[in-house]
Amino acid sequence: MKYLVNCLVFAFLPVFLLAQTDVPRLSKMPIGESGCSAYFPSGMPAFEASKSEDGADVYTSEMEVGEYRFGCIAVKFSEPFSDSSPEELEELLISYMDYLKEQFGITSSAGYGKGHLQEGLPDVRGVLDYWQDAEKTQFAIKGWVNQHYLGIMFVYGATEYPIFNVQQMYLDGFRFGE
């Protein structure tokens, strides 16, 4: 009998653990007036708009889902980078992600995973990384860039986000404007 009870506990343990995590339903939503959109958890707050020092439009929003926070930063460049190659744009994205590391107080990172693409968009590049701050908060972050826009999608919490497929769908959910 004890063997049967142990088997049942271990068989249902993953179900109990997943039940402790809110699974967000992702739906496409515009990112302010940027022209871009992304797949966000239901109830994502409206984006706050501001201007960067160089006149670019910056849109930000963030929300809590269970014990984790989902966030997005989108930038519509004031002037397109028309003469820049996708590789040069990728380096621009990395420099912006380096800036965010400082702003978020990141103390360690896995290292940039370069060369991510979006189907049918040869001028788009994406960069993925995993960060940790001084309080041991775990970040999964992915940036996207083309000649007109830059988008950052991130999820963070006390531990790594436990539902890998949802995290990947979220990080890959940024869509560029026309």
CB 9 within 8 A of CB 25: no
Instruction: Count up the domains in the chain and report the number.
Output: 1
- Quote the CA–CA distance of 73 and 168 in Å, as a whole number: 17
Tens digit of each residue's pLDDT (9 = 90 or more) over 73-100 = 999 999 999 999 999 999 999 999 999 9
Residues in the chain predicted with pLDDT less than 70, given as ranges, are 1-21
Residue 81 lies in a domain: yes
Residue 4 lies in a domain: no
Residue 176 lies in a domain: no
Residue 10 lies in a domain: no
Other CB atoms within a 10 A radius of the CB of residue 10 amount to 9
**pTM greater than the 0.75 cutoff:** yes
Lookup result for tokens 């890998």? 164
Amino acid identity, position 136: K
- Residue 64 domain boundaries: 25-171
Q: What's residue 77's pLDDT? A: 97
Q: Give the CATH number, domain containing residue 165.
A: 3.40.1000
Residue 3 lies in a domain: no
Which DSSP helix (H) or strand (E) runs through 88? Answer: helix 86-104
Residue 5 lies in a domain: no
- Quote the CA–CA distance of 130 and 73 in Å, as a whole number: 17
- Quote the CA–CA distance of 53 and 48 in Å, as a whole number: 16
Average pLDDT of the residues of the chain:
90
Q: What's residue 92's pLDDT? A: 97
